[in-house]
Amino acid sequence: MRDATRILRDSAIPEPFEDLMNRIALVATGLSRRIARGGLDEDLAGARGQNAGGDGQKALDVIADEAFMEALRGSAVRYYASEEQEEAVDLNGAGGLALAIDPLDGSSNIDVNLSIGTIFGVYSAGATARASFLRPGRDLLAAGYVVYGPQCLLVATFGQGVLHFLLDPEDGRFHRLARNFDLSGKFGEFAINASNHRHWPRPIRAYVEDCLAGEEGPRRRNYNMRWVASLVAETHRILTRGGVFLYPGDARKGYERGRLRYLYECAPIAFLIEQAGGAATDGVSPILAQTPDALHARTPFVFGGAANVARIAAYHELSHEETSALFGGRGLFRS
């Protein structure tokens, strides 16, 4: 990539990832501008059918996917696995990296002007695409996301903490912000789609009911509830001010494993969260210890402050009677 296009410079980015991160940043800059003009030049929220995972696809989903794929040709990325592609694409036979990406997360929010984003994870390339991607998330070399909102932000990890960059609209470059994310404490905020309450497993219902009971319940404190329906937006809020996010599997057909994809949504976010001192599980077991059985495999997802995530796992250890009884049988959670 020519020096003139290097819009992301920082000594904290390991040299093997400099070119890749600049290509991602360059596409993100273009998407940020395009999103800001959405409705003036084109209908970015227009329906385009379904993606490989069976979810509704918007025009911007396709635009973002094509932009990233084109920008990464000739880079160190050999295999490209996208939410919008049925199978992984071989971009460069000589490349040593494999990139898993959700090119445009939260596309249902495009036409209501809420934050949307891009999520990506980077592995070493194996002999085949399946060998590159169908492996534990613990094998990730790097991960990150871009937020397209009031500000365009890029957040990434290379296994040594979390880096945070802001796109300056004046000079068109990303600049690192001096912010330390810390999810090691307890937090009084949770994010879940409460409309699905009746479908949740009993441990999840019990946890949420105890939070909603506030000071009078077994948790003895008041909690705030949030839900944006954009994983990137939820993640950035939690990294910035704490809390916990829950997207459990539930009793509805097709939702037994939730709706979030392991490879290019949950594993990269889990890597970032752990690097900030938090935790990420499927409700019980660590996300990064798991291995997907398909490119578009789904998993329940719980992440955020380590203490909050551990408490949710503890609810899964309670008996049926304890999770069925409102408050009375859960006195051990008074903390």
Would you name the residues annotated as active-site residues? 55, 61, 83-84, 102, 104-105, 265
d(CA 99, CA 272): 16
CB-CB contact of 305 with 244 (8 Å): yes
Q: In what order do the strands lie in the sheet with 189-191?
A: 224-226, 189-191, 244-247, 301-304, 279-281
Name the E strands within the chain.
47-50, 56-58, 77-82, 89-90, 97-105, 116-124, 142-148, 152-157, 162-168, 173-176, 189-191, 224-226, 244-247, 279-281, 301-304
Q: Which of 103, 137, 106 lies closest to 123 in space, CA to CA?
A: 137
Only one residue has tokens 């979810």, namely 55
Read off the tokens for 59: 């025009």
Q: Are β-strands 116-124 and 97-105 bridged in parallel, bridged antiparallel, or unpaired?
A: antiparallel
